[in-house]
Chains A and B, each alone.
Chain A
Amino acid sequence: MQILGDRHYKADPGETITFTSTSPTGIGSLAVAGASSTTLPATVAGGGHNTVVVTAAFTDDDGGRVSINVTGDTGADSSTLRQITGLPFRSGIFVID
């Protein structure tokens, strides 16, 4: 997996990209093509364009943050979803080509 930009990756065909979270308690929601989930880890197969959205729901009104780790067979990246004050959730859009 190559990092092309902010939350933008290039994966080899058949490579498994895994999304995990540092949050010990859970994540809000996750969406990939044709499927949604409420927990991590989740995996996506490389080979083609894919948009993965992870939304963290926060229990308080401010200060929430969670790191999302994106790991391929040959590379990894980490991205932080920071809560915007007063908004109860924050989404991260990950693109895999």
Chain B
Amino acid sequence: MKTLLRFVAVSAVAAQLAGTALAQQASSSTSVADAARHSLAMELVDRGTPFSIQDIDYMVLVIRSNNEPLRLLQQFEDERADKQIGATSSASGTTTLISKGTVPKILGVAVENGAVSETQSGTTATFRANLGGAIRAAASKGFFELTPDDDPALNVLNRLSFSVSFDTSRGNILDANTLTADKQQLSQWTGRLQIVNRRDVQGKAAMVKWRERVFPISIATAVRTIATTKDTGLDNWIAGTASAINAVLAAGGRTHDQRVADVEAELRRREALFPTDAQLTPEMAAAFNGYSTAAVSLIQRRHDLLNELAKGALVSLEYTNDRPVLAPTTSNVRLVVEAGGSVDVTANVSVTLFNTIPFGANRALQDVEAGGQLDLKLGSATTTGAFTLSFAGKYEHQFENSFSDAGIMIPNTTGTIAIGQVKLTIPIKGTGIRIPVSLTVANRTELIKENVVRGNVGLTYDLDSVFARFKPE
């Protein structure tokens, strides 16, 4: 019960961090149609030009009845369960046993409670950012423009990510379990270099495949046919919708969010009046069918390509600086290799060194580790969400004795630690939030030579999905 209460308390911190964007996102992503309507409403409030034939993709993809393209649309970003948002396994309060290969493009926040391989259990808030992505975000570049281009400096920065972890149990006792993000709470920082990333959907190799397989599906030709085909019923519906939305926008005394909500409601009302195929001219109905056929083909090819890219290899090198309160600080260098698809295989090899050889130790080398993890992707992004069931194991050999948080060397703690873990990562559909729940079994911990069985729960939040909804001008 104590752990649960602490977890709930820190979850409130995460909610504050996510702020308005989280609430806004949660209300707008109950379905593809709802998310699209909300997105278009925001655009109409901001763009300064009325609803028109320029919004034809929304009309045919979202409103039209018996809509096969809409049925096929998937939210692949939510499916990606391969992002390492939480702290590495040496941090207090982490559910992570094996480090994964990719990190969010912009910024990730994770709050985790429990401990995997250390005796002390606490709550850790981790912030992880991709340097190139963060710089481009700060420069007001949109998500689509976060692509590798001919700028070699940006290509290098895109491969670099950093994280900082704060242990909220540290610091002023009056602020216990409150994230102050000060030096006292800084428990760990990391830097990661992505050496190989075959899963980057906007990488150079991927772009060749986009051009070869997806772009040739000419939606433009289908749209041009619609735009050059006369249909009074469609024209009247567009004119009526534009007039209704203009009236909503002209109303005074409304905040931006209220205006968006009003336009969204008006769009929903107008959708019910959209002409059926029987009410369109045969030429326009045929043009709509041509569009739908092309759209289905494009969506299917895009889906296949994204699945193929998700099976690509990942190799990264990570440096971690651990900062216990009183125990010696350490540096860990870890090689992470990942490959797979529906079943992901991840391997870690690492070495940990004392930053300064502490009194009583004989060498800088504290331990070496090797571990592996299998991730089975279950469920569906379109229904329950993409659950991930993970099985992980880690072998660690300590060459030097462990230190307690009080900085006291614990004698006779050298030797081998073997850890096994089963973890279920539960997504909250359409929010970017995942809840990892894990059960960990170990022959001992770093401090105590006794068998340990431990349960962990966590909360990870991927701010890529929030940034993706924030479209800077």
Name A's B-contacting residues (CB within 8 A): 6-7, 22-32, 36, 38-39, 51-55, 57-66, 82-93
Q: Which of B53, B202, B224 contacts A31 (CB 8 A)?
A: B224
Name B's A-contacting residues (CB within 8 A): 28-29, 32, 35-36, 38-40, 43, 47, 49, 52-54, 56-58, 61-62, 73-77, 142-145, 147, 149-150, 201-202, 206-207, 210-211, 214-221, 223-224, 227-228, 295, 298-299, 302, 465, 467-471
A38-B39 CB under 8 A given contacts A60-B77, A62-B469? no
Task: Collect the chain A residues with CB atoms within 8 Å of residue B145's CB.
Answer: 22-24, 65-66
Question: Is there an interface contact between B54 and A62, defined as CB atoms closer than 8 Å?
Answer: no
- Docked Cα-Cα span, A60 to B53, in Å, equals 24
Question: Is there an interface contact between B220 and A88, defined as CB atoms closer than 8 Å?
Answer: no
Question: Is there an interface contact between B142 and A6, defined as CB atoms closer than 8 Å?
Answer: no
A55-B220 CB under 8 A given contacts A6-B49, A65-B142, A85-B35? yes
A25-B57 CB under 8 A given contacts A31-B220, A63-B468, A91-B220? no
Question: Is there an interface contact between A86 and B465, defined as CB atoms closer than 8 Å?
Answer: no
A85-B54 CB under 8 A given contacts A24-B149, A24-B150? no
Question: Is there an interface contact between B54 and A93, defined as CB atoms closer than 8 Å?
Answer: yes
A91-B39 CB under 8 A given contacts A6-B49, A57-B298? no
CB of B216, distance to nearest CB on chain A (Å): 6
- Docked Cα-Cα span, A64 to B35, in Å, equals 14
Task: Collect the chain B residues with CB atoms within 8 Å of residue A24's CB.
Answer: 145, 147, 149-150
- Docked Cα-Cα span, A60 to B133, in Å, equals 15
- Docked Cα-Cα span, A90 to B218, in Å, equals 12
Task: Collect the chain B residues with CB atoms within 8 Å of residue A29's CB.
Answer: 215-221
Q: Which of A22, A36, A60, A64 contacts B218 (CB 8 A)?
A: A36
Task: Collect the chain A residues with CB atoms within 8 Å of residue B220's CB.
Answer: 28-31, 36, 53-55, 91
Task: Collect the chain B residues with CB atoms within 8 Å of residue A23's CB.
Answer: 144-145, 147
- Docked Cα-Cα span, A54 to B223, in Å, equals 9
Q: Closest A-chain residue to B142, C-beta based?
A: A65
Question: Is there an interface contact between A86 and B149, defined as CB atoms closer than 8 Å?
Answer: no
Q: Closest B-chain residue to A24, C-beta based?
A: B149
- Docked Cα-Cα span, A20 to B143, in Å, equals 20
CB of B301, distance to nearest CB on chain A (Å): 10
Question: Is there an interface contact between A57 and B468, defined as CB atoms closer than 8 Å?
Answer: no
Question: Is there an interface contact between A7 and B144, defined as CB atoms closer than 8 Å?
Answer: no
A60-B62 CB under 8 A given contacts A25-B207, A88-B302? no
- Docked Cα-Cα span, A15 to B295, in Å, equals 34
Question: Is there an interface contact between B211 and A26, defined as CB atoms closer than 8 Å?
Answer: yes
- Docked Cα-Cα span, A88 to B214, in Å, equals 11
